[in-house]
Amino acid sequence: MGDKQRVVVTGMGLRTPVGNTVKDVTDALKTGKSGIRYMPDWEKIERMRTKVAGVCDIEGEGASIPRHFRRSMGRVAILAALAAMDAVKDSGIGAGEIASPACGVSFGSTAGSTSEQVLQMARMIQNQSLAGVPSSAFLKGMSHTCASNLATMFHCRGPFIASCTACVSGSQGIGFGYEAISRGKAPIMITGGAEEMYFMHAAIFDVLMATSSNYNGRPRETPRPFDVARDGLVVSEGAGCLILEEYDHARRRGANVYAEILGFWTNSSGMHLTDSDPGGLEECMRAALKDAGVRAEDVEHICAHATATKGGDKAEAMATQSVYGSKTPVTALKGNMGHTLGASGAIEAICAILMGREGFMSHTLNLVEPDPDFPPLHHIMKEPLDQGFSLGINNNFAFGGVNTSLVIKNVRP
């Protein structure tokens, strides 16, 4: 693995329930802001337990996307496009190089635009007619809608990867983009993930009894990662985009480098479709460290997946403690913005980079009393830790037994 090309992050953009800019999100993490809100319309849905969610405020922003591109985008692709436009601009890479075989796309989401899928299917089934179904219906709802729309909007002609792997879609988007560059397939990759808010996303987890419902009247107090009083996840929306670039390519053009992706691993636990397996999670974490060529004891911070479900948090705590022990500081960002599903890995990777560069480690919002049934971890609680870091880990896990771990080395400004 010694002949790998080095891969760095030269541009970032995001849309989240706690802010739409790097500065806003950084401030939200420093102040412990919650992006969770009560959803009154969900009261009308019979047997729906959860009534809280995280929603992005992007009112009017869609107009910044040229109409001839926007007409094939549902909300999930619009979120992806807004984040990607900011990231490309931030990178300073010229439009000509983006619109070439030198630039590829590796971007994911759990699915396409679910709201568009439901709308068009309802029209066809209820009316037994295709009347009123637009020609763009499939383009908005197809599973690879984010990657496809980004590639078309930026005219990218390099490698194309669409990761549609539930909650690791964004982290696989970054990881597969890293692998494409490290193996010499392209010097530039637009990477990340996105998800839109729609009640059906929450309903899927609600049926599985995996959503938070005890805090419907107190939305800012949930979710509660690793906490003894956690009662399930809170579904949210968002998008995160990282421009990855081959190191020498970035250096030659004098690019601003935020971080370096040192390693990545993804695996299948091969045990259960919904329950996390501590052994599979541990194997993934150790393989990522090996890919990066670093030791567990050198890691200074862990950005945990931690959805605040009963079994998932326990399995993650067991695997994390087994690999990293009880001294490495741990932050779980879903306390701030809920579970952004396919966007979570990308948003959390960006947040990890921002924390390292800004010299702090965010506390896990709503973590008051760690579950005593878990092995001990060094949780950051109550307030941020005034401490920067260089070497960090971002872990994500998904239904289907899919796991990811990214090893990121931050570059302080």
Q: Is 305 one of the annotated active-site residues of the chain?
A: yes
Exactly one of 144, 301, 339, 363 is catalytic; which is it?
339
| Buried b or exposed e, range 97-124, using 16+ CB within 10 angstroms | ebeeebbbbbbbbbbbbbbbbebbeebe
Q: What is the 3-state secondary structure (H, E, C) of the chain?
A: CCCCCCEEEEEEEEEECCECCHHHHHHHHHHCCCCEEECHHHHHCCCCCCCEEECCCCCCHHHHCCHHHHCCCCHHHHHHHHHHHHHHHHHCCCHHHHCCCCEEEEEECCCCCHHHHHHHHHHHHHHCCCCCCCCCHHHHHCCCHHHHHHHHHHCCCCCEEEECCHHHHHHHHHHHHHHHHHCCCCCEEEEEEEECCCHHHHHHHHHCCCECCCCCCCHHHCCCCCECCCCCECEECEEEEEEEEEHHHHHHCCCCCCEEEEEEEEEECCCCCCCCCHHHHHHHHHHHHHHHCCCHHHCCEEEECCCCCHHHHHHHHHHHHHHHCCCCEEEECHHHHCECHHHHHHHHHHHHHHHHHHCCECCCCCCCCECCCCCCCEECCCCCECCCCCEEEEEEEECCCEEEEEEEEECCC
Exactly one of 249, 305, 363, 379 is catalytic; which is it?
305
Q: Is 339 one of the annotated active-site residues of the chain?
A: yes
Exactly one of 56, 103, 167, 241 is catalytic; which is it?
167
Q: Is 379 one of the annotated active-site residues of the chain?
A: no
Active-site residue set: 167, 305, 339
